[in-house]
């Protein structure tokens, strides 16, 4: 089967991305918080395969090879910046990236799912080593992606648009579509460049798809992507828009540079902030109406969240759904029951019911917080 490429799919309608790997695999006991390096692809490949399968069953059109933080300079980073990181002593960038690509290719098989090779920000940039050194780190990953013949290339989680431009330059000319996302909010990148200017610079650097990922929640990302869209239109530029926010609600971080990283709950006590599937439905519809055509998730987006994206966009995708939707009815549709022992759940099979629910923390000692939630 000849698969349609990313740009062809985006021209026809929305594309559903996958969800978060780092935080989910940390919770499952395969990634160390702090370094956040992906040696799990070597040490426990079955864990990565399983998560890939779950995202694919949920309805994702794309699976990213788990190559986040996988440059040699990142794998070798140690000391105060990466306590506990020993990865670079035994695993090289090439070994890790080759294995990550092989894993996702095995999961996809002959299926109609695109494979993405992604690179992210480098310690070399933060250490001021310059463009040549940074692009040398990128080139090792890109070589693996090209040898493994991934379907498209992604530069993600960049805090500085300058480094993102260098990444796009390293990816262009390989005969693959290039996407690029920044980890920024409305205040702009880490050097103060506005979201609009960032988007214009990424597009002019040659990115086919531009947008946002991680650091900020869905509402903040929607505000920021709108700023990007307006600036692109003013400049007469028309790359596709992409958004993959984190799955934890953190409105108080909107005007910061570090987003959810400043929360006292980060990274080990974020669960009470996690979005419901219904909140994902609303986010997806808002993103699509804004003109975003590549919609997925980053940290905190679990397979059921990706299923919500797939189901919300099913009408725009010709009714396409993932296998996991066979075990789900949107908006509680399968909860309808005439069984007397389940009478207490009557009425929980409608959109109206679930849109009226205000999720509570459910923690003893916080009655005032819960009361305020229910009064909203």
Q: How far apart are CA 232 and CA 139, in angstroms?
A: 28
Q: How far apart are CA 4 and CA 107, in angstroms?
A: 18
| CA count, 13 A, side-chain hemisphere, 151 | 22
| CA count, 13 A, side-chain hemisphere, 96 | 26
Q: Cα 121 to chain center, whole Å?
A: 15
DSSP annotation of 257 reads S
State how beta strands 114-120 and 62-64 pair. Answer: parallel
Check: CB of residue 118 under 8 Å from CB of residue 64. Answer: yes
Annotated binding-site positions for Zn(2+): 214, 298-299
Q: How far apart are CA 231 and CA 204, in angstroms?
A: 12
State how beta strands 240-244 and 178-182 pair. Answer: unpaired
Q: Cα 114 to chain center, whole Å?
A: 15
Check: CB of residue 282 under 8 Å from CB of residue 245. Answer: no
Is residue 118 reached through a cis peptide bond, with omega within 30 degrees of 0 on the bond before it?
A: no
Neighbours of 359 (CB within 10 A): 15
Q: CA torsion angle for 30, 36, 38, 44 (degrees, to 10)?
A: -10
3-state DSSP assignment of residue 294: strand
Annotated binding-site positions: 214, 298-299
Q: How far apart are CA 103 and CA 114, in angstroms?
A: 13
Helix, strand, coil shares, percent, the chain, to 5: 50, 10, 40
Q: How far apart are CA 96 and CA 87, in angstroms?
A: 10
């Amino acid at each position: 089967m000849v698969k349609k490429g990313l740009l062809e799919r985006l021209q026809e309608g929305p594309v559903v991305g996958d969800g978060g790997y780092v935080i989910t695999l940390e919770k499952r006991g395969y990634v160390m918080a702090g370094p956040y390096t992906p040696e799990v692809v070597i040490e426990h490949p079955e864990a990565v395969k399983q998560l890939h399968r779950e995202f694919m069953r949920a309805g994702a059109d794309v699976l990213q090879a788990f190559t986040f933080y996988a440059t040699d300079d990142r794998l070798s980073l140690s000391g105060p910046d990466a306590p506990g990181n020993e990865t670079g002593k035994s695993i090289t960038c090439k070994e890790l990236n080759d294995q990550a690509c092989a894993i996702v290719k095995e999961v996809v098989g002959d299926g109609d799912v695109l494979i993405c090779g992604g690179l992210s920000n480098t310690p070399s940039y933060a250490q001021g080593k310059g463009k040549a050194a940074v692009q040398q780190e990128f080139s090792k990953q890109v070589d693996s992606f090209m040898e493994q013949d991934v379907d498209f290339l992604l530069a993600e989680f960049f805090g500085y648009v300058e480094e993102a431009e260098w990444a796009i330059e390293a990816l262009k000319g390989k005969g693959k579509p290039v996407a690029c996302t920044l980890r920024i909010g409305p205040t702009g990148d880490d050097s103060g460049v506005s979201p609009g200017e960032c988007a214009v610079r990424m597009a002019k650097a040659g990115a086919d798809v531009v947008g946002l990922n991680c650091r900020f929640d869905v509402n903040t990302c929607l505000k920021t992507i709108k700023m990007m869209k307006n600036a692109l239109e003013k400049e007469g530029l028309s790359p596709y828009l992409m958004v993959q926010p984190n799955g934890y609600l953190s409105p108080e971080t909107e005007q910061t540079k570090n987003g959810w990283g400043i929360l006292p709950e980060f990274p080990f006590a974020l669960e009470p902030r996690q979005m419901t599937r219904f909140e994902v439905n609303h986010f997806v519809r808002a993103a699509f109406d804004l003109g975003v055509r590549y919609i997925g998730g980053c940290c905190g987006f679990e397979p059921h969240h990706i299923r919500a994206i797939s189901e919300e966009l099913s009408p725009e995708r010709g009714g396409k759904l993932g296998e996991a939707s066979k075990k789900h009815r949107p908006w509680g549709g399968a909860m309808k029951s005439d069984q007397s022992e389940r009478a207490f759940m009557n009425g929980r099979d409608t959109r109206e019911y679930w849109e009226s629910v205000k999720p509570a923390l459910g923690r003893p000692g916080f009655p005032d917080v819960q009361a305020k939630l229910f009064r909203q």
